[in-house]
Amino acid sequence: MLKDLCQTQGQQKLFLSKELTMTKKAEIDWETLGFDYIKTDLRYISYWKDGAWDEGTLTEDNTIHIGEASPCLHYGQECFEGLKAYQTRNGEIQLFRVDQNAKRFKDSCERLLMPTIPEETFIAACIEVVKANEAYLPPYGTGGSLYIRPMMIGIGNSIAVKPATEYLFTVFCMPVGAYFKGGMTPVDFMVSDYDRAACNGTGQQKVGGNYAASLIAHDIAVKKGFADCIYLDPLTHTKIEEVGAANFFGITKDNRFITPISCSILPSITKYSLLYLAENVLGLEVSEEDVFIDELDGFAEAGACGTAAVITPIGGIHYHNRLHVFYSQTEVGPITRKLYDTLTNIQLGDIEAPEGWITKVK
Ligand SMILES: Cc1ncc(COP(=O)(O)O)c(C=O)c1O
């Protein structure tokens, strides 16, 4: 039913979208795309009320009209996801590990006492939104992709601190390029005194409140000339947790792939993909373990990884008035490069993906 509805609506509006395709494709400079919002033609929207989701629809309207006492506005009852669609060399379109985003979304919803979205509905909505906005998909070879943003908010007017009585689930998309300026060139980060999230709080979920709390640390880092900040564990401030909105990994001098283990970091889908690829494709020893900030000398290379960051090499980390440089501030280390090539070639369909990692849109 959901699919039929989306297809009917999608086809009508796709006609519109095709008309616009010529000018829009020409207007977007794919090579210099960053991570700024670009309105695309259609987004998916579905409402939950009285214990059930409606059928969902695609709409041209990119605004949301909600009650002033909606719990998402006051108490942050909101969660979201981020994933990408890629055009392959032969013109197909594919999603990378969308099932993992669907699962993590479910976990976030449950943590905030929100209704869940069936995995099939989540995946179908992402597929339909990509299809409906194909005009905005950066062509193969440009380095761009179509970023997909599913989100859920608690709506309906209720001012008491309790779960909302109504919910809205929406999925929109936009073309993107590099998240950190320069893409696959090393950038420097500084260690922040602020905490991002807590273990028994919502550190492992992708909820808006974590990001609101992180804005000040990011702002300070950028004003000081760094790409972003590094968060340490909230309890002891001795161990690396996250690199801005990405996970951390390091390559030791004896070629081991290490990434932090913690109950207050987001379980990054890119990180788990790299753990698999480092071990099974590059043949490295891998481990999730504590990464102490005063033991950075053990790493020959380091990077930030995530859907938006892809792999961003870390040039140096500023901590206690000293910049610790890993491989180089200008050159990418050989293992970071190999991991990047392997991951992006899989995402673009240039090499075979491990089973279940790719969902074809077209
Ligand atoms: C705080 C945080 N950590 C890590 C990541 C990377 O996660 P993923 O690889 O699933 O995109 C993200 C981005 O989603 C993030 O927001």
Q: Are 58 and 194 in contact (CB under 8 A)?
A: no
Strand ranges inside 131-255, DSSP E: 145-155, 166-176, 187-191, 228-232, 240-243, 247-252
Pocket test for ligand 1, best of 98, 147, 247 (most atoms within 8 A of CB): 247
CA distance 331 to 312: 12
Q: Are 38 and 174 in contact (CB under 8 A)?
A: yes
CA distance 56 to 147: 21
Nearest of 353, 354, 355 to residue 92 by alpha carbon: 353
Q: How far is the CA of 211 from the centre of ligand 1 (A)?
A: 11
- The pLDDT tens digits for 144-166 are 999 999 999 999 999 999 999 99
CA distance 31 to 128: 25
- Which atom of ligand 1 is closest in space to residue 196's alpha carbon? 1
Name the amino acid, one letter, at 208: G
Which residue is associated with the tokens 């909505």?
A: 125
Residues of the chain with pLDDT under 50: 1-23
Q: How far is the CA of 307 from the centre of ligand 1 (A)?
A: 6
CA distance 332 to 330: 7
pLDDT of residue 27: 77
Q: Considering only CA atoms, which residue is closest to atom 5 of ligand 1? A: 246
Q: How far is the CA of 306 from the centre of ligand 1 (A)?
A: 5
Looking at the chain, the number of H-run helices and the number of E-run strands are 7, 18
CA distance 179 to 307: 9
- Ligand 1 neighbour 269 (Cβ under 6 A): yes
pLDDT of residue 25: 66
Structure tokens at 205: 């979920």
- Ligand 1 neighbour 306 (Cβ under 6 A): yes
Q: Are 140 and 88 in contact (CB under 8 A)?
A: yes
CA distance 41 to 51: 30
Q: Is 206 an annotated catalytic residue? A: yes
pLDDT of residue 182: 66
Q: Are 196 and 187 in contact (CB under 8 A)?
A: no
- Which atom of ligand 1 is closest in space to residue 246's alpha carbon? 4
Q: Which residues contact 53 (CB under 8 A, 6 or more apart)?
A: 46, 47, 115, 117, 121, 169
pLDDT of residue 223: 98
Q: Which residues contact 355 (CB under 8 A, 6 or more apart)?
A: none
Catalytic residue among 206, 239, 338, 362: 206
Q: Which residues pair with 44 in a beta bridge?
A: 58, 171
- Alpha carbons within 13 angstroms on the beta-carbon side of residue 225 total 3
Backbone angles phi, psi at 294, to 5 degrees: -95, 15
- Ligand 1 neighbour 81 (Cβ under 6 A): no
